[in-house]
Amino acid sequence: MSYRRVAVLFGAIAIVAAACGGGASPSPSGGTAAGCKVGISWNNFQQPRWAATDKPAMFKAIQDGGGTVVGDPDANLDSQRQLSDVDTLISNGAQVLILLAQDQKAILPALQKAKDSAIPVIAYDRLIEDPGVLYITFDNIGVGKAEADAILKKVPKGNYVLIKGDPGDPNASTFLPQGWDQAGLKDKVASGDIKIIGPADGTYTDGWKTEKAQANMEAIIDAANSSGQTIDAVLAENDSTALGVAAALTGKSYDPYPPVSGQDGDPANLNNLALGKQYVDVWKNSNELGKAAGQAALELCAGKALGEVTVNVDPSVAPLAGNTAADFTTPGPDGKPASGDENVVKSIILQPTPLLAEDLDKVTSGWYATKEDICKGVKASDPGGPDCQ
């Protein structure tokens, strides 16, 4: 099969203008937001996706709709620095904030300052437990399910390692594991078909750091070897942790090499998919996520209520609940949903695309991983060989 590039259908971003008047085009729901000042706080740029896809798509949507970005600092994985960054964005006149939180609890003082200044907040790709935010993300439970569906189909019985992300991120502690369980992992553990090697609830990876995931995986491999246990599959929650897992397995010359999961569609991981060092990568077209956040920021600037915000994204990622914000029930700040509405947030949840090696042709020409990136070092006999010739 030849390597085919499917063109991305980027719908024109129709967002409008004019909280301050003049020359703007209509937004998806008819509001206006010309001159809107948007502040963006990133928790880090160490994961390549943020700077390569989310940021430029977000900037384009804001600027095409007549808005401006007053700042987009990188907190470099430091929660206290992120609080200072948000203070600066507010001081610089931000009328709406897009926050990629380093830690959902540590960010709460910044959220309160935004509330005190009547500044709407978008919780971007990571949940902030507060009904006053608009939560824009991919279906992270669906991502976890897609990861586990693929690995469980490949290895229905055996010894599994669970490599999780940062403990301060609800994606790592709640949503992705819920997806794994929806795919049947918990039931298979209960039945004895699957045994967890290492901590039963998985091993967390501070900051989602590749080197930390590698060190954790190396320790698990050594412990398994010393006890005579084999590792038959690895559920790694995202691509940076999957890279660490692959480095550990390769460095230890582990044989037979087990299937490994991941998510994001980072170039190195798509290359590993083609090489056979990663079995499944759940691709999240974050060009569309950044675009959705930029559109939503302008809608909020134009005075739209959270539940009225509407975005215009490619049909391949369109929310199952529709393009207008809908209710989403969160796990609750202590992981236990309350009985009232305090754990319900308005949300726009995009859909991901799971990829095996034979699916590499689905990666679009609008993605930042080039064919050269994906096919580096790939031989005809490798899993991605047919697509890379």
User: Considering the entire predicted model, what is its pTM?
Assistant: 0.86
Same domain, 95 and 229: no
Q: In this structure, is residue 368 part of a structural domain?
A: yes
Same domain, 123 and 168: no
Q: In this structure, is residue 261 part of a structural domain?
A: yes
Q: In this structure, is residue 6 part of a structural domain?
A: no
Same domain, 120 and 190: no
- What pLDDT does 337 receive? 55
Same domain, 122 and 215: no
Q: In this structure, is residue 16 part of a structural domain?
A: no
Q: In this structure, is residue 255 part of a structural domain?
A: yes
The domain that holds 201 is classified in CATH as 3.40.50.2300
Q: In this structure, is residue 15 part of a structural domain?
A: no
250-268 tens-digit pLDDT: 999 999 999 999 999 999 9
Count of other CB atoms within 10 angstroms of residue 228: 6
Same domain, 81 and 161: no
Q: In this structure, is residue 237 part of a structural domain?
A: yes
- Residue ranges with strand state E in the chain: 37-41, 68-71, 96-99, 121-124, 133-138, 158-163, 194-196, 233-236, 261-264, 280-283, 326-329, 344-350, 353-355
Same domain, 186 and 201: yes
Residue 359 is classified by DSSP as G
Same domain, 276 and 186: yes
Same domain, 49 and 73: yes
Same domain, 262 and 168: yes
The CA distance from 382 to 145, in Å, is 26
Q: What does residue 329 show for φ and ψ, rounded to 5 degrees?
A: -90, 120
Same domain, 238 and 95: no
List the 68-71 sheet strands across, edge first.
68-71, 37-41, 96-99, 121-124, 133-138, 344-350, 326-329
Same domain, 122 and 226: no
Structure tokens at 71: 């700042």
Residue ranges in the chain modelled with pLDDT below 70: 1-32, 334-342, 364-365
Q: In this structure, is residue 8 part of a structural domain?
A: no
- What pLDDT does 331 receive? 85
- What pLDDT does 364 receive? 63
- What pLDDT does 17 receive? 33
Number of structural domains found in the chain? 2
- What pLDDT does 34 receive? 82
Please answer whether residues 20 and 33 qualify as being in contact, where contact means their C-beta atoms are separated by less than 8 angstroms: no
- What pLDDT does 334 receive? 64
Domain span at 168? 140-284+354-388
Same domain, 254 and 383: yes
Please answer whether residues 356 and 256 qualify as being in contact, where contact means their C-beta atoms are separated by less than 8 angstroms: no
Structure tokens at 40: 């963006």
